Structure 1
Amino acid sequence: MKSKTLKKDKVNIITLGCSKNLVDSEVLSGQLNANGIKVVHENEKLNHNIVVVNTCGFIDKAKEESINTILEQVELKREGRLDKVYVTGCLSERYRHDLLNEIPEVDAWFGTMELPLILKQFNADYKQELIGERLLATPKHYAYLKISEGCNRTCSFCAIPLMRGNHVSKTIEEVVSEAKKLVSMGVKEIMLIAQELTYYGLDIYKKRALSELLKHLSDVPGLTWIRLHYAYPSKFPLDILDVMRERDNICNYLDMPLQHISNNMLKAMKRQMDKQEIYDLIGAIRETVPGICLRTTLITGFPGETRDDVEELKSFLEDVRLDRVGIFTYSHEENTSAYELEDLIPAEEKEARAQEIMEVQQEISYEKNQEKIGQTYKVLIDKKEAGRYLGRTEFDSVEVDNEVVINGTDELPIGDFVNVKITKAYDYDLEGEVVA
């Protein structure tokens, strides 16, 4: 039984970090809501009395943002504007024992896999039957769908296995059931996420089963777009490309973090493949799915990176002309194998290298966008901003990729698909007009 005071509680969840954290927050919201507890996400009205901060502990900048957010909430508690501050997520999983002493004002700390323990703080029950019962923090027409948790890879720079544990796949039935639930809520686009998509199924089916999962998901009525994020390139299961080519509702889009291209960097990063294998893989992907949009992330400033390595990376981008590129500067993370290496490259130099590489990609992006002028694309309307509608093609994911700015005054329902003829193109965005 919940007490009378509990009924007036209102919980605000603040989410930091990646889309995987966002899904965790949505699941927590769904569980609290199912227990009769009012819950909001990123509430700016300050009409709540309890805060849960879902933290990121991936790299230095993310950790700093998480700490600052916790301190801001603790200050609100000191001022009497909050009753409780709880902290969960990756930073809490990784540094809980240190943080207990450093920020004692936090009422309780939880790891990444302790949802039932968080619910106990509210005298709430963990409802196992709530598969897919999430309160979406995204607009209702798209959602992230986590197909697994954890990672078995041993990349030398990465602390994710320390925070998320080993790879654990959901069953195909669980994922499909959740997808159907999301579609019933109005979702038209699902972005598949995991620490590592291509490992999916190895633990429960003893084989890579992402292609099989995609077939089942693409059969879900009402699911218009399925998008793939975070596919590891080593031992890439090429059979997923056949499914992508055959199924119209699987976007011709692949987010595949490469991290680097020079062999000495790939070896030091423990990426389990070499430069030629990466070139060959990109060629095979493009041959199987002509016109596919390839997105990657890269790291600059890894210990031992030379000017030659940077030039090699720039030449690689000019050679393969990837569609989308994001860059992180190396963060020296304790308890990773790279932590044993000397982090001698100054932060300013890391940033300068990142900027140098992005300037190469910016020109490529501009040229690729110019080629789109005069073409017509199916566009999903995401929002209206400053009197103009903003949408995306199948080649663009939320927040990280291009947007299509739609001119004209006609009313366009958010979440609808329209055909847009591109009239202008910039480095990272397009402009166009709706056509019949």
Structure 2
Amino acid sequence: MKARTLQKDKVNIITLGCSKNLVDSEVLSGQLRANEIDVVHENAKLDHNIVVVNTCGFIDKAKEESINTILDQVNLKKKGKLDKIYVTGCLSERYRGDLEAEIPEVDAWFGTLELPLILKQFDADYKTELLGERMLSTPKHYAYLKISEGCNRTCSFCAIPLMRGQHVSRTMESLVEEAESLVKKGVKEIMLIAQELTYYGLDLYKKRMLDELLRQLSDVKGLEWIRLHYAYPNKFPLEVLDVMRERANICNYLDMPLQHASDNMLKAMKRQSTRAEIEALIADIRAKNPGICLRTTLIAGFPGETLEDVEELKDFLTRMRFDRVGIFTYSHEEGTSGYELVDDVPADEKQRRAQEIMEVQQEISLEKNEEKVGQTFKVIIDKKEAGRYLGRTEFDSVEVDNEVVIHSKKKLTIGDFVYVKITKAYDYDLEGEVVL
């Protein structure tokens, strides 16, 4: 330990959970580096002496992963391989008091909005002039852009407002400036993220302004793809689709978590929409923007969910034919209004229902992919693995959606766009050859 203290500090940041957490870690990294502190992400070399764990506290599995990661770092500290452990993020925000008592080896705990306090641990100053500056941990050709913090919704299953607070939009000027900065670093695709995208602007501008934000971001030179994640269906601003249709660099893609389709479940989840209203919205979206890729996420096993509710959800998927679907099993979260209900669906039954629902979507996904065989798509090259390239169309986001396996006789450059003719289709992926 004495020998180690003679060395310059090196900080490793471990990020767990969603892309919003990743952005927070990137901002922290940027601030540390601006204060001349050596910082890395997910450092496999273990040549650092300080670690910051940015935790997730969304559902049980995420909380378990966060705690196990903290305990792993505590073991390293006990072996003399770490000097300091700091913990931040949603889990720390939500359970700080309990965690301090249970894991005293952690040197300090911080909430989700306490970046300046973290920096003080390093005798570093929060540099306001670096607003929007980040040290990217993604490949340099894409990045996430967080347009707001917090959420005003009251969904009965969700603890995010407990951890992230109420909705706060960032100014359009700051977002455009950040997008321009990202492009200068080589970013070609940005994914707009928030707890709730469609609420953007209501607090700052007294009206929904996502459409205007898209126009301004679309004008940023060098930005080739803009992608929308986490849109709420109730009072969805349809004018966003007009901008999407008018601007070539806004992906024909919309991620809209619906959570369920049974009216019983939608009411219990406090989702503010009925199945009929959701189906009408989807029809309006597709009428305004034919060919749009719709992604949704669902929850299986919410308290009181019956087999009839599951069948209704499966029927909904069959009728709506989403391009992409993800599913979670319900997690009983204290502090939410859903916690007052009896968690009456056993864990194995939740899993069985989730699998049954995804089997419906798997068939739809294969059919939709088979329709693409013979067609040519613009594809961004993400990486090379096992002698083949992997990329995505505008209808696919990073990590959660389909990949295109690309065969090419010539060398391709990561981050470049190529045109690929699809030759094979699988349940969730495509295969093709470069034609241009």
Q: Secondary structure at the match of 1:267?
A: helix
Does residue 304 in structure 1 map to residue 322 in structure 2?
Answer: no
Instruction: Name 2:162's counterpart in structure 1.
Output: 162
Contact 1:300 1:353 in 2 (8 A): yes
SS state at 1:297 partner: strand
Instruction: Indicate yes or no: 2:46 matched with 1:56.
Output: no
Alpha-carbon deviations, 1:397-432, whole Å to 9, x = none? Answer: 000000000013310000000000000000000000
Partner of 1:29 in structure 2? 29
Rounded Cα–Cα distance in structure 2 between residues aligned with 1:266 and 1:346? 20
Say yes or no: does 1:249 pair with 2:249: yes
Contact 1:378 1:418 in 2 (8 A): yes
* TM-score, normalised relative to structure 1: 0.99
The answer to whether the 8 Å contact 1:7/1:37 transfers is no
Cα deviation, 1:197-250, whole Å, max 9, x if unaligned, reads: 000000010000000000000000000000000000001001100000000000
2:347 equivalent in structure 1: 347
Partners of 1:67 and 1:255 in 2: CA distance: 29
Aligned length: 433
Question: Which residue matches 2:382?
Answer: 382
Q: For the residues of structure 1 that align with 2:408 and 2:134, how far apart are their CA atoms?
A: 35
Q: Would you say 1:8 and 2:17 are equivalent positions?
A: no
Aligned to 2:370: 370
Amino acid at match of 2:125: D
Letter in 2 for 1:75: N
d(CA) in 2 for partners of 1:5, 1:121: 15
- Whether the aligned pair in 2 keeps the contact of 1:51 and 1:86 (CA below 8 Å) is yes
Q: CA RMSD in A?
A: 0.9
Cα deviation digits, residues 330-349 of structure 1 (max 9, x gap): 00000100000000110000
User: Residues 119, 80 of structure 1: CA spacing in aligned structure 2 closer, same or farther, 3 A cutoff?
Assistant: same
Name the SS of the counterpart of 1:105 in structure 2: coil
CA contact (8 A) 1:244 1:252 kept: yes
Q: CA deviation at 1:288?
A: 0.6
| TM-aligned CA deviation for residue 131 of structure 1 | 2.4
CA–CA distance in 1 between the matches of 2:6 and 2:239?
A: 51
Correspondence list, 1:192-211, <5 A: 192-211=192-211
**1:357 corresponds to:** 357
Structure 1: how far apart are the matches of 2:184 and 2:165?
Answer: 32
- Aligned-partner SS, 2:298: strand
CA 1:239–1:45 in structure 2 vs 1: closer, same or farther (change >3 Å)? same
> Which residue does the alignment assign to 1:290?
290
- After superposition, where does 1:394-413 map in structure 2 within 5 Å? 394-413=394-413
Shift of the alpha carbon at 1:132? 2.5
Aligned twin of 1:136: 136
Structure 1 residues 7 and 233, CA, compared in 2 at 3 Å: closer, same or farther? farther
**In the alignment, which residue of structure 2 is the partner of 1:44?**
44
Q: Which residue matches 1:217?
A: 217
Deviations 1:1-35 (A, max 9, x none): xxx96970000000000000000000000000000
Name segments (4+ residues, structure 1) moved above 4 Å: 4-7
Aligned to 1:313: 313
What SS class does the counterpart of residue 173 from structure 1 fall into? helix
1:131, 1:177 within 8 Å by CA — same for their partners in 2?
Answer: no
Identify the residue that residue 331 of structure 1 maps to in structure 2. Answer: 331
Give the structure 2 partner of residue 415 of structure 1.
415
Question: Counterpart in 1 of 2:19?
Answer: 19
- Determine the C-alpha separation between the residues in 1 that align with 2:5 and 2:213: 45
Distance 1:44 1:159 in 2: 32
Letter in 2 for 1:50: I
CA distance in 2, matches of 1:107, 1:91: 16
Measured against aligned partners, the alpha-carbon deviations of 1:20-51 in whole angstroms (never above 9, x if no partner) come to 00000000000000000000000000000000
CA contact (8 A) 1:56 1:90 kept: yes
Q: Is the 8 A contact 1:189 1:223 kept in 2?
A: yes
Q: Is the 8 A contact 1:298 1:327 kept in 2?
A: yes
Aligned to 2:119: 119
CA distance in 1, matches of 2:6, 2:198: 43
Partner of 1:78: 78
Q: Partner letter of residue 34 of structure 1?
A: A
Shift of residue 133 of structure 1? 1.4
Aligned residue type for 2:315? S
Q: Distance in 1 between matches of 2:213 and 2:277?
A: 26
CA 1:6/1:253 → structure 2, altered by over 3 Å: closer, same or farther? farther
The corresponding residue for 2:427 is 427
CA contact (8 A) 1:6 1:122 kept: no
Secondary structure in 2 aligned to 1:85?
strand
| Aligned residue number for residue 231 of structure 1 | 231
Residue-by-residue CA offset, 1:281-329 (whole Å, 9 max, x unaligned): 0000001111000000000000000000000000000001000000000
* AA partner of residue 299 (structure 1): I
Instruction: Output the TM-score relative to the length of structure 2.
Output: 0.99
Report the equivalent of 2:98: 98
Amino acid at match of 1:107: D
Secondary structure at 1:380's aligned position in 2? strand
